[in-house]
Amino acid sequence: MQIQVNEKIMVSKTLFSEQQIKDRIKELAQKINQNFGSQEPLVVLIVLNGAFIFAADLVRYLVMPTEIETICLKSYEGTNSSGVVKLLTPLSENLEGKNILIVEDIVETGRSIDFLLSQLKAKKAKKVEVCALLNKPESHEIPMQIDYSGFDIGKNFVIGYGLDLDGRYRNLPYIAELMS
Ligand code: IMP
Ligand code: MG
C-alpha cells in the first residue's frame, strides 16, 4: 500500500497478519491470567486512542473480574514523537489498593509509560503492570520493564490495528510498517 507522509509517498508492508496478532494476544492473556489469578479484580487501564482494538481483543481472553478504565495520552505529531506527553483525560480517583494492568499499543521512547507510572504512584495501587502489543527496544530512552510485550520490532513507524499516522489507518486489521 502507498501512504502519503507530508509531501512524500511511502510504501507500507505487512509486518504482522491478523492471525499472528490473534495468536500472540491469546498467549499474552494466558500469562496475565496465570500471574493475576482468576479471583481478584483487575483494573484494565487502556491507553487511548492507540490501544483500543488491542485491549478489546485482549480483555475477552481474561478470566478474572475486570474493571475497564481508559486514559487519553498524546505525544505524537505525524511520525515523530513530540517529546512531551500530555494527559488529555484525568485518571480515575478509584485505584487505591487495586491491581492495575496498563494496556498500551506500543512503547517507543518509554516516555508515555514512564509518565503514566509516575501519575499512578500517587493513586496508591496495590500492583501496576504494563502490557504493550509492540515494543521498540532500540528506541527506548528511559529504561523500563514491560511485563507483557507482544512483539519486539525495529525503529520503523508502524500503522494499523489501532495505531495511526495523524489519526488515520487505525482500522487496518493487520500491522504494517512504513519503509524508508
Ligand atoms: P513513547 O512515549 O515514545 O514510548 O511513545 C509511545 C506512543 O507513541 C505510543 O503510545 C503511540 O501512540 C506512539 N507511537 C510510537 N511509535 C509509533 C508507531 O510506530 N506508530 C504509531 N504510533 C506510535
Ligand atoms: Mg499510544
At 86 the pLDDT is 82
Q: How far is the CA of 174 from the CAs of 19, 129, 135, in angstroms?
A: 9, 26, 16
In contact, 151 and 123? CB cutoff 8 Å: no
Task: Give me ligand 1 centre to Cα 178, in Å.
Answer: 14
Give me the pLDDT at residue 87, please: 86
The cell numbers describing 107, all together, are 512503547
Terminal CA-CA length for the chain: 13
Could you give the count of Cα atoms lying within 13 Å of 148 in the half-sphere of its Cβ? 26
Between the CA atoms of 71, 74, 76 and 77, what dihedral angle is there, to the nearest 10 degrees?
Answer: 130
Question: Which residues in the chain belong to E strands, given as ranges?
Answer: 2-5, 8-16, 42-48, 66-77, 80-87, 99-107, 127-135, 148-152, 158-159, 175-179
**What whole-number distance in Å separates Cα of residue 14 and Cα of residue 112?**
26
Specify the residue with its C-alpha closest to ligand 1, atom 22: 163
Q: β-strands 80-87, 66-77: how paired?
A: antiparallel
Give the model's pLDDT for residue 82.
Answer: 67
What's the average pLDDT block by block, 10 residues per block, for the chain (180 residues)?
A: 81 95 98 97 97 98 97 77 82 93 97 93 95 97 94 97 95 94
What is the pLDDT, as a whole number, of residue 137? 96
Question: Would you state the pLDDT for residue 168?
Answer: 94
Beta-carbon contacts of 53 under 8 Å, excluding residues fewer than 6 positions away, are 161, 162, 170
The predicted pLDDT at position 84 comes to 83
Residue 92 phi/psi, 5-degree rounding, is -60, 145
Take atom 10 of ligand 1 and give the residue whose Cα is closest.
106
Residue 107 beta carbon below 6 angstroms from any ligand 1 atom: yes
In angstroms, what is the span from residue 109 Cα to ligand 2's centroid? 11
Q: What is the pTM of this model?
A: 0.94
The predicted pLDDT at position 8 comes to: 80
Q: Give the other-Cβ count within 10 Å of 128's Cβ.
A: 19
Within 10 Å of residue 78's Cβ, how many Cβ atoms? Answer: 11
pLDDT of residue 11: 86
- Could you tell me the distance, in angstroms and rounded to a whole number, from the CA of residue 124 to the centre of ligand 1? 27
